[in-house]
Structure 1
Amino acid sequence: MFSEHVQSRAEKRAETRQKVLAAAERLFREQGFGATTIRKIAAEAGVSTGTVMSVGDKDALLVAIFDIWIEAVHRERADGGPPASAGSGVDGVMALIEPFIRYFMLDEELSREYAAIVVRGVHESEIFRELADSLIAELAGALGRAGLAEADADRGARVVYFAYLGILMNIAHGTVREPDAVDQLREVIGFAIARGGGEA
């Protein structure tokens, strides 16, 4: 009986959190991050402002929204392996990274806000940090399929990962457009593969 009560409270808390995050995302996308207030999120979610704040302030809500999406992409890959379009060479590596680039391009304002929050370090993205190793391992696997030796694939994966992060930040700040970002990443990946003796 006690465990059922505790479980139902935990489930209710998780349900409320999801409701708040869904309302926040809707409003952030429709009205913009700056125009969205905690009161508006509370009204949209049908909860009190205190309940919203128990989930997080606006910055924390935005980080959580991005984290949920990032985690879903990684979970989908873990369940089903590499993307179907993942071959070898540059295309195989790009297939791992492109979903993130496209997500950042969906709403440049939110991406800019997210990047600023992460850079400020006030609200750390746990998922972004935790899944970095997973993405680096996926990149190393793709580079290995392109013919790089394990040590070169590992080094190349880190190079590509950090180039990817830099490009994401530039996308978020509006200094790089999607086609240029993709081209720049393809160049970095091609360089890493060629440097490691693989086939692009």
Structure 2
Amino acid sequence: MFSEPVQPTRATQKRRTAARVVEAAAQLFTEHGFQDTTVRRIAARAGVSVGAVMAVGDKESLLGLVYDQAIADRIPAPPAPVEGGRAPDAAEYLAHYFDPFLALFAENDELARAYFRTLARGRPENAALGTLRTLTEDNLKAALVNAGMPEVRARLGAQVMFAGYLGELMLLATRTTDPEQTAARLASTARFIAAQEGRDR
């Protein structure tokens, strides 16, 4: 007995449309830059209406979604604890955790600055940043705990590390520093945080 093909639900269609819109926006931002990309162009590239694009977000919101997804795709997993041997080097993991993100921002300076401006405005559409923060802090905390740090202190260390990362990104956006200095300062912060493991509680 043949069954009728299952039609995608409205929610599924909405997710697929949103994914097409974000992908089209990513392509156009890369090809034409942020300023020269319009919502109309994004709609044409995605094969949807302007209204469908705006249902996903305006141009700034779409740039945020593009970067948030690109960052999430590059997040490295924390090192697993070593049984019966040396604990994984938390300082090394924390020091280089943000390297893929810094490389991403270095790929397109103009887009990176536009993304930073979006973050600085603190718009509601930046909710994805909260998700990224949670995932990042969970990974950093896990690395510290796996290296032997108490969980409460590891959580605080992860929060400090993420806050430092955001601060360094803002300095990069205003061109008051460069990627090498940023990497060096993040490494110093990582070593400082990891060194707290042996201190009194």
Deviation of 1:185 after TM superposition, in Å, equals 0.3
C-alpha distance in structure 1 between counterparts of 2:57 and 2:150, whole Å: 45
C-alpha distance in structure 2 between counterparts of 1:99 and 1:31, whole Å: 23
Does the CA contact (< 8 Å) of 2:21 and 2:53 recur in 1?
yes
Deviation of 1:192 after TM superposition, in Å, equals 1.8
Tell me whether 32-41 or 15-24 shows the greater mean CA deviation: 15-24
Q: Does residue 166 of structure 1 match 2:167?
A: yes
C-alpha distance in structure 2 between counterparts of 1:73 and 1:83, whole Å: 15
Q: Does residue 112 of structure 1 match 2:108?
A: no
Query: What residue ranges of structure 2 are gaps of 5+ in the alignment?
Result: 81-87
Q: How does 1:165-184 map to 2 (within 5 A)?
A: 165-184=166-185
Tell me which residue corresponds to 2:17: 16
C-alpha distance in structure 2 between counterparts of 1:65 and 1:125, whole Å: 12
C-alpha distance in structure 1 between counterparts of 2:13 and 2:156, whole Å: 44
Does the CA contact (< 8 Å) of 1:105 and 1:171 recur in 2?
no
Q: How does 1:60-99 map to 2 (within 5 A)?
A: 60-73=61-74, 81-82=77-78, 87-99=88-100
195 and 11 in structure 1: CA distance in 2 versus 1, 3 angstrom threshold: closer
C-alpha distance in structure 2 between counterparts of 1:94 and 1:173, whole Å: 23
Does the CA contact (< 8 Å) of 2:22 and 2:62 recur in 1?
yes
Tell me which residue corresponds to 2:40: 39
Tell me which residue corresponds to 1:121: 122
Deviation of 1:90 after TM superposition, in Å, equals 2.1
Does the CA contact (< 8 Å) of 1:59 and 1:123 recur in 2?
no
Does the CA contact (< 8 Å) of 2:68 and 2:132 recur in 1?
no
C-alpha distance in structure 1 between counterparts of 2:183 and 2:34, whole Å: 26
Does the CA contact (< 8 Å) of 2:79 and 2:143 recur in 1?
no
51 and 151 in structure 1: CA distance in 2 versus 1, 3 angstrom threshold: closer
Q: Which amino acid aligns with 1:35?
A: D
Does the CA contact (< 8 Å) of 1:96 and 1:138 recur in 2?
no
Moved over 4 A (4+): none
Greater C-alpha radius of gyration:
2
Tell me which residue corresponds to 2:59: 58
Higher helix share: 1
83 and 174 in structure 1: CA distance in 2 versus 1, 3 angstrom threshold: farther
Does the CA contact (< 8 Å) of 1:104 and 1:172 recur in 2?
no
Tell me which residue corresponds to 2:191: 190
C-alpha distance in structure 1 between counterparts of 2:66 and 2:59, whole Å: 11
Does the CA contact (< 8 Å) of 2:95 and 2:188 recur in 1?
no
Q: Does residue 136 of structure 1 match 2:137?
A: yes
C-alpha distance in structure 2 between counterparts of 1:104 and 1:83, whole Å: 25
Deviations 1:103-128 (A, max 9, x none): 22222222211121122122432222
TM-score, scaled to structure 2: 0.80
Q: How many residues align?
A: 190
Deviation of 1:171 after TM superposition, in Å, equals 2.2
